[in-house]
Amino acid sequence: MPPLRLLAALAVLLLAGCKNHDIPDEIASIFVEASPSLSPAMKQQVRLPVSQLAVSVMTRPLVPAEEILNTHPVTSGEPDLRQEFLLVQLDRKAAVDVMNYTKEAIGRHFVLVINDAAVGIMPIDHQITDGNLMFHVEKKGLTNTQAVMDISRRLNVSALKLRKIKESERP
C-alpha cells in the first residue's frame, strides 16, 4: 500500500479543522480481492505477515477506517477445531456497501489492512447482510488468540479516536 494513502488520510483530518490532536496511530481499512482480469494499475499485492499468503486487492478500500465501528474477539468453528477470529462491525453505510458487493463476490476475499500492512483475511462464502465481518488475523510473534486480542484492542482505540474527530467536526 502506498504510504501516501495514510499521509493523505491524516492530512484530510488535519485540514478539516479538527481541534482534536488525538489522531489515531493505526488506520484500518477493508480491501477486496481484485479480479485477475483487472488492470495492474487498479490492483496491488498485499502479503499476510505469518502465512505469507499474497493477495491482489483493489487499490481503494471498500470500507475506509471511519466506517469501522468496533471490533470483538470471537471463537468459532467445529468443537475440535475452534479458533479465534476478529469480528469487525461496520456502520450502516459500509454494511450496505458490503451487502451489495458480496451478492456477486462469492469466492473472493476481504483483506483487513492496518496502515499499509495486511493483517487479516476473510473468505466471502455468502452474501453478508448484517455488517459483521469475521477475519482470521495474523501478527508475527503472537499466537492466534494473542493476535486477535492485540489487534482488537488497538483498532477499538483508533475507532474511538476517529469517532471523536467526526463528532467534533459536526456543527
Using CA atoms, how far apart are residues 121 and 31, in angstroms rounded to an integer? 10
Using CA atoms, how far apart are residues 21 and 54, in angstroms rounded to an integer? 35
Q: For position 4, what pLDDT does the model report? A: 47
Burial 46-84 (b: 16+ CB within 10 A, else e): bebbeeeeebbbbeebbbbbbbbbebebeeeeeeeeeeb
- Name the pLDDT band for 9 (thresholds 50, 70, 90): low
Q: What is the mean pLDDT of residues 63-89?
A: 93
Q: For position 10, what pLDDT does the model report? A: 52
Q: Who contacts 169 (Cβ-Cβ below 8 Å, separation ≥6)? A: 16, 17, 18
Q: For position 3, what pLDDT does the model report? A: 52
User: Tens of pLDDT along 77-110?
Assistant: 888 888 999 999 999 999 999 999 999 999 999 9
